[in-house]
Structure 1
Amino acid sequence: MSLTPEQVKRIAHLARIEVSESEALTTQGHLNGIFELIEQMQAVDTAGVEPMAHAQDVCQRLRADAVSEADRRAAYQAVAPETEAGLYLVPKVIE
């Protein structure tokens, strides 16, 4: 598939982009290059190839789920203006 300069101008109009004649020709070349690349990718035989989540067969190394910090909740709530039942009280902003 290749675009004509008129089609490029129509696309630019739909996108609300003002393009000059020379910009339309340059853009036509870029868009046609993209379409050629897409056609090459679609021509590749992918029968029997399973979809992959990532281009490389990698997995993440997971660390142990261990507590690394002390519980400082009481210290944080001690400096809060108002708390109740372990919750922070804030001014009402929606009536």
Structure 2
Amino acid sequence: MPDASGSTPAISRDEVAHLARLSRLALTDAELDQYAQQLDSILGHVAQVSEVAADDVPPTAHPADLRNVLRDDVVTPGLTVEQALSGAPAVEQDRFAVPQILGEEE
């Protein structure tokens, strides 16, 4: 059945009601009408985009041809074990010592 614009909707109110039942959603009549209209609009826009897509246009993730703009990965010296542990409140076998919290028996 044609809608207010004179075209046949891509999804009917009954189909929206059926989907709502399958999804276990309780929708009012007003919500069914609203969602049917919104879903029809979305499907119409998807159809428009599908018409525009041409076989000679390669798929893209971004309209501009971007390249990796990160700096080169250069190895630099890090902290020594002594420097890393210098501010630790407790050290055990060249590691941070922390109290055990898992596996303790009370």
TM-score clears 0.5? yes
Unaligned runs of 5+ in 2: 1-8
Once the 2 structures are TM-superposed, how far is the Cα of residue 35 of structure 1 from its aligned partner? 0.7
**Structure (1/2) with the larger helix percentage:** 1
Say if 1:5 and 1:24, in contact at 8 Å, map to a contact too: yes
1:74 maps to: 82
1:37 maps to: 45
| Of 35-44 and 53-62, the range deviating more from structure 2 | 53-62
- Paired letter, 2:32: A
Give me the CA root mean square deviation. Answer: 2.9
The count of aligned residue pairs is 94
| Of 45-54 and 18-27, the range deviating more from structure 2 | 45-54
Say if 1:3 and 1:31, in contact at 8 Å, map to a contact too: yes
Unaligned runs of 5+ in 1: none
| Separation in structure 2 between the aligned mates of residue 87 and residue 60 of structure 1, nearest angstrom | 37
Map 1:14-93; keep pairs closer than 5 Å: 14-66=22-74, 71=79, 73-78=81-86, 79-84=88-93, 86-90=94-98, 91=100, 93=102
| Of 45-54 and 66-75, the range deviating more from structure 2 | 66-75
